[in-house]
Amino acid sequence: MLKIIKEKTLQKRTLKNVTKRNVSNRNSVLKTIGLLMDEKFHKNFIMPNEFADFFKVSAKNISILTYKAKPLKNTVQEANQITNKDFGWKGDLHNPQAQNFLNQDFDMLLGVYDEKNSYLDWMISQSKAKFKVGFKNADEKLFDLIIQVSPSEKEIFITELKKYLIVLNKL
């Protein structure tokens, strides 16, 4: 029951965040990149050094935050990881590192997940990123650009994303 209340609260807060978003800096040149990704894509997705080379950005300007729905018992949570337990029943985030990630003014934020997720949707809506990119099946209200491929098709995604970023004068 508590899980349902938490998810409904997050969905309401997500809609509220979307309506308040400032899009005036959406067209800035790409210098910093944030990756907010579901844990199931973390090991097989492009590493920060590859990403930096492909988009001509310094690797130190790429930040990753992973989401794991259900942490295993007796495991230590990694520094750049967030779980459902980091959210209160009112939808408040209780992870300072994740809050710092959301407050960073990324030039581009990639939401690397492929199915509806109230926690990740709320984080995307809460992020101060200037330009937000998602994958197939993503909520159109949250992202500025949606590439119609699965996150598992990383080569196709990167090629398509680079094409759009060139057209938008971000590279």
C-alpha span between 145 and 87 (Å, rounded): 27
The mean pLDDT value for 136-156 works out to 89
Q: Do the Cβ atoms of 160 and 147 come closer than 8 Å? A: yes
Check: CB of residue 124 under 8 Å from CB of residue 98: no
Q: Report how far apart the first and last C-alpha atoms of the chain are (Å, whole number).
A: 46
Phi-psi region of 137 (alpha: psi -120 to 50; beta: other; left: phi over 0): left
For the chain, give the mean pLDDT.
85
Query: Who wins on pLDDT, 105 or 49?
Result: 105
pLDDT digits (tens, 9 = 90+) for 57-115: 888 999 999 998 876 665 555 778 898 888 887 778 888 999 999 999 999 999 999 88
Burial class (CB in 10 A: 0-12, 13-18, 19+), 26: middle
Two tokens at 84? 């459902």
Q: List the domains of the chain with CATH numbers.
A: 2-167 (3.40.50)
pTM of the model as a whole: 0.86
pLDDT tens digit string along 11-26? 888 888 877 777 667 7
